[in-house]
Amino acid sequence: MKGQSPIFEQVMLFSIGVAIFIACLSIFNIYEAYFTDIMMEDQLNEVEGFIISNILRLSKKDENFSIALEIPSRILNQIYEVNLSDNGINITSMGSTAYVESGIYNLTESFEFSGSIISSHGKHIIYKKGNKIIIE
C-alpha cells in the first residue's frame, strides 16, 4: 500500500494540471472569439460609413453620376456582402454571424436604393440615374 500512495498523488497532480490547461485553453478561445467578433463589426462599420459617405456625396450631384468604390476584398480573411435597399444598407460577413445595418439619413424619401455586391469581386460602382441610386 505504501507504493500506491505516491503513484496516486502523481496521477491526481497530473489530472489537476490537465484540467487547468483545458480551462485556460477554453478561456483564451472564448476571448479570441469575442475580440474577433468585435473587430469584425468595427471593420464592417468602417466599410458601411465609407459607402454611406459616398452615397451622400452622390446624392448631391446632378442627374447621372457614378463613383468607383475600392473597398477591402476581405475583412479578417472573410468576404462580405453589401446590400442596398430602400430599408438602408446591410453588410453581412459570409463566414461569421457579424453584420451591420443602418438607414441612409432620410434619403429614402427622395431616392430609390437597390443593388448588391460581394466584396471579393474587385472594384464596385455606385451610380445615380434620376432618383435611383444603385450599387454594382
Tally of structural domains, the chain:
1
Tell me what the mean pLDDT of segment 41-59 comes to: 90
| pLDDT level of residue 131 (50, 70, 90 thresholds) | confident
- For position 48, what pLDDT does the model report? 92
State pTM to two decimals. Answer: 0.78
- For position 5, what pLDDT does the model report? 81
Distance from C-alpha of 40 to C-alpha of 127, rounded to nearest angstrom? 27
pLDDT tens column, 66-125:
889 888 888 888 899 999 988 888 999 888 888 888 888 777 778 888 999 998 887 898
| Region of poorest pLDDT, from 1-5, 11-15, 27-31, 118-122 | 1-5
- What's the grid cell of residue 57? 456625396
Greater confidence (44 vs 1) lies with 44
Q: Is the pLDDT of residue 39 over 60?
A: yes
Range(s) of the domain holding residue 126: 4-135
Max mean pLDDT range (24-33, 55-64, 66-75, 121-130): 24-33
What letter would DSSP give residue 61? S
- For position 2, what pLDDT does the model report? 67
Tell me what the mean pLDDT of segment 35-46 comes to: 91
Q: Is the pLDDT of residue 25 over 90?
A: yes
Q: Is the CA virtual torsion 108, 110, 116, 117 positive or negative?
A: negative
Distance from C-alpha of 78 to C-alpha of 11, rounded to nearest angstrom? 44
